[in-house]
Amino acid sequence: MKADVSHIRMVVVDNSPVFLRSVCAFLARHKGIEVVATAENAFEALRAVDRFRPDLVLLDFHLPLVNGLEAMAQIRCRFPATRVVILTGYDEPELRKASLEGGAFAFIPKAGVSRELPCLIARIKSA
C-alpha cells in the first residue's frame, strides 16, 4: 500500500549561512515542507536530527571537521527511517557514487537544487 506523505519535515545542513538561507527560502515556497532546523556542521546536524526526527536531511558533502559521508553514516545508523540527500558544489562522479553507495536517498549538485529538489520531494510524497 502506498503511503501518502503530504508533509515533509526537513533539516538542512550546510556550512554556508548564505546557502542555508537561500535553500530555506526556496523550501518555504513549497506547500507541505517544513524546515524544522538548520545546522552548519555535522555535530549540530546530529543534534537536530535527534531532537526533531525529520523525514529528510539535506546534507552538504563538504562540512568542517566531519564530512557529509561520515555524518550521513551516523544519521543512517542512528535514525534509519530518516532519508539523507547529499548536496555538493562539486558534481563529481566519485562523490555521487560514494554518496549513493553510502546510503544517500539522492545526490543533488547545489547548482541543480531549484530544479531537482521539487522532483525529489514529489517522489518522496508519492513513495
pLDDT for 4 beyond 50: no
Residue pair 15/39 in contact by the 8 Å Cβ criterion: no
| Cα 66 from Cα 123, distance rounded (Å) | 29
16 grid coordinates: 554556508
Domain count, the chain: 1
Q: Is residue 59 part of a domain?
A: yes
Q: How confident is the model at residue 124 (pLDDT cuts 50, 70, 90)?
A: confident
DSSP string over 76-126: HHH-TTSEEEEEES---HHHHHHHHHTT-SEEEEGGGHHHHHHHHHHHHHH
pLDDT for 127 beyond 80: no
Q: Is residue 2 part of a domain?
A: no
pLDDT for 3 beyond 60: no
| Cα 96 from Cα 87, distance rounded (Å) | 10
Q: Is residue 3 part of a domain?
A: no
Q: What CATH number is given to the structural domain containing 19?
A: 3.40.50.2300
| Cα 113 from Cα 127, distance rounded (Å) | 20
Which residues have a Cβ under 8 Å from the Cβ of 94 and sit 6 or more positions away? none
pLDDT for 31 beyond 80: yes
Residue 18 CB: number of other CB atoms within 10 A? 8
Question: In which domain, by residue range, is 65 found?
Answer: 8-126
